Amino acid sequence: MGQIVIGKGGLYGNVIRTGVMLNSTKDTIDELIQALDAALATL
């Protein structure tokens, strides 16, 4: 699985920002969801 860059934003730091382009494919979004799920499972 590849790596995806994420960060936080918003006035209170409650927004997740991703490095995914707006014209991404379904496969790219699926990879993003898998990476987020794996990261959040470690919390």
Per the DSSP assignment, residues forming a β-bridge with 8 are 16
More confident residue, 15 or 21: 15
**pTM, whole model, 2 decimals?**
0.65
Q: What is the average pLDDT score of the chain?
A: 85
Please compute the mean of the pLDDT values over residues 15-21 and round it to a whole number.
84
Q: CA 2 to CA 33: how far, in whole Å? A: 12
Q: CA 38 to CA 12: how far, in whole Å? A: 24
- Whether residue 18 is contained in a domain is answered as yes
Count of domains forming the chain: 1
CA angle centred on 37, ends 33 and 38, rounded to 5°: 120
- What lies within 8 Å, CB to CB, of 35 at 6+ separation is 1, 2, 3, 4
- Whether residue 33 is contained in a domain is answered as yes
- Whether residue 34 is contained in a domain is answered as yes
pLDDT of residue 15: 92
- Whether residue 1 is contained in a domain is answered as no
Range of the domain at 29: 6-41
Whether pLDDT at 11 is above 90: yes
